[in-house]
Amino acid sequence: MISTAISKGNYVYVYDEHNRLIETLSGELYGYTSTTCSVKRGNFIYTYDENRHLVSTRRI
């Protein structure tokens, strides 16, 4: 489960409910839920699940 996502520079750090780092993503934080994290890179939004799998890609 995703507890929080923090944007620092060009990276997004995603933490679980025990404050352990579960993934680092390049891009700008677009939003997150307890099961997904979305980052913006260029004209695209990439959404990843808590297991680091790419769930969707959208052009904005």
Sequential pLDDT tens for the chain (60 residues): 999 999 999 999 999 999 999 999 999 999 999 999 999 999 999 999 999 999 999 999
Q: Give the C-alpha separation, 28 to 52, whole Å.
A: 16
- Say how far apart CA 60 and CA 52 lie, in whole Å: 22
Cα 17 from Cα 56, distance rounded (Å): 24
Query: Do 15 and 24 form a contact (C-beta atoms < 8 A)?
Result: no
Using CA atoms of 6, 8, 9, 14 in order, give the dihedral in degrees to the nearest 10.
-50
Model pTM score:
0.92
Contact between 23 and 52 under an 8 Å Cβ cutoff? The reply is yes
